[in-house]
């Protein structure tokens, strides 16, 4: 598994890319949606090969071309979800919570033994705004239960889609929180986070903490609405 080499004088300074030892192939399931498309753009911009996944290749291919047209450094293609996952080393799930379990189960064979990153947020909306759904387990835990051999991590929940798609070089004012039970998978995703923020992600604990990370997105959405901004998470003291 390849990794991103970075250099930082101290944790809160922006990391500077030195090289990418091995280009990763990353499938983005739900890559036609705003969050998935934005993350796919950041991964491809950093030089990784990205496969946009959708229910049909016909929907994925135009989005892949849209990303490629922005002058990214990595190859971007589109495919149906199963084909995208089969081709990839890492799979990012950027899909709605509604129908999540059914889609993950349908892709179980392609997800087996791979690093799976879940940025799925079980949220509801009513007249008072967004809120975390009352669920028995997080989306990330559910994916791990459905595909026990997958190395599931939770990450990228709190980065706004509009920020990801913007022309900013990196979102250095934010931190990507990464939770998971497989140490090697967490380490890989922590390094992958530098494609977004220019610095490694923050190890946030076991996968069970996705239960706290996922609904926190509702708080950020409410802040964004109140202050007309794109807020994010930043961890001090590291």
Sorted by where each starts, the structural domains of the chain and their CATH numbers stand as: 4-227 (3.40.50.720)
Q: Provide the mean pLDDT of the chain.
A: 92
> CA 115, CA 91: separation in Å to the nearest integer?
6
Mean pLDDT score, 198-217: 98
pLDDT at 22: 66
- Structure token digits, residue 176: 């990507």
Is the pLDDT confidence value at 180 over 70? yes
Q: How many CB atoms lie within 10 A of CB 179?
A: 28
Q: Name the E strands within the chain.
A: 4-7, 16-20, 25-29, 49-54, 76-80, 90-93, 115-118, 123-126, 129-132, 151-154, 177-180, 202-205
> CA 19, CA 17: separation in Å to the nearest integer?
6
Q: 222-238: per-residue pLDDT in tens? A: 999 999 999 999 999 99
pLDDT at 101: 98
Is the pLDDT confidence value at 6 over 60? no
Mean pLDDT score, 159-180: 95
Return the CA Rg of the chain: 16
Q: How many CB atoms lie within 10 A of CB 125?
A: 10
Share of the chain above pLDDT 70, in %: 91
pLDDT at 12: 37
pLDDT at 34: 97
Residue 209 phi/psi, 5° resolution?
Answer: -75, -5
pLDDT at 16: 39
Residue 26 phi/psi, 5° resolution?
Answer: -120, 125
What is the largest distance, in Å, between two alpha-carbon atoms of the chain? Answer: 49
Q: 17-75: per-residue pLDDT in tens? A: 334 436 899 999 999 999 999 999 999 999 999 999 999 999 999 999 999 999 999 99
Is the pLDDT confidence value at 119 over 60? yes
Is the pLDDT confidence value at 96 over 60? yes
> CA 159, CA 106: separation in Å to the nearest integer?
27
Q: How many CB atoms lie within 10 A of CB 133?
A: 14
Q: 183-193: per-residue pLDDT in tens? A: 999 999 999 99
Is the pLDDT confidence value at 208 over 70? yes
> CA 33, CA 228: separation in Å to the nearest integer?
22
Among left, alpha and beta (phi > 0; psi -120 to 50; other), residue 176 is beta
Mean pLDDT score, 100-117: 98
Is the pLDDT confidence value at 127 over 70? yes
């Amino acid at each position: 598994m390849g990794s991103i080499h970075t250099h930082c004088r101290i944790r809160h300074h922006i990391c500077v890319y030195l090289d990418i030892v091995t280009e990763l192939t990353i499938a983005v399931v739900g890559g036609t949606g705003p969050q998935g498309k934005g993350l796919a753009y950041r991964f491809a911009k950093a030089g990784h090969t990205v496969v946009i996944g959708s229910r049909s290749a016909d929907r994925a291919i135009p989005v892949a071309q849209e990303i490629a047209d922005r002058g990214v450094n990595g190859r971007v293609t589109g495919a149906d979800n199963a084909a995208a996952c089969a081709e990839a080393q890492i799979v990012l799930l950027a899909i709605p919570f509604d129908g999540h379990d059914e889609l993950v189960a349908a892709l179980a064979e392609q997800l087996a033994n791979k690093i799976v990153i879940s940025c799925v947020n079980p949220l509801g909306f009513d007249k008072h705004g967004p809120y975390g759904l009352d669920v028995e387990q997080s989306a990330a835990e559910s994916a791990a239960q459905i595909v026990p051999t997958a190395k599931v991590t939770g990450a990228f929940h709190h980065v706004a889609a509009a920020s990801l798609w913007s022309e900013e070089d990196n979102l250095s004012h934010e931190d990507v929180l990464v939770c998971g039970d497989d140490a090697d998978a967490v380490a890989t995703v922590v390094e992958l986070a530098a494609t977004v923020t220019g610095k490694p992600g923050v190890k946030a604990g076991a996968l069970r903490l996705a239960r706290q990370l996922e609904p926190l997105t509702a708080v950020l959405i409410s802040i964004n609405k109140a202050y007309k901004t794109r807020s994010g998470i930043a961890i001090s003291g590291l």
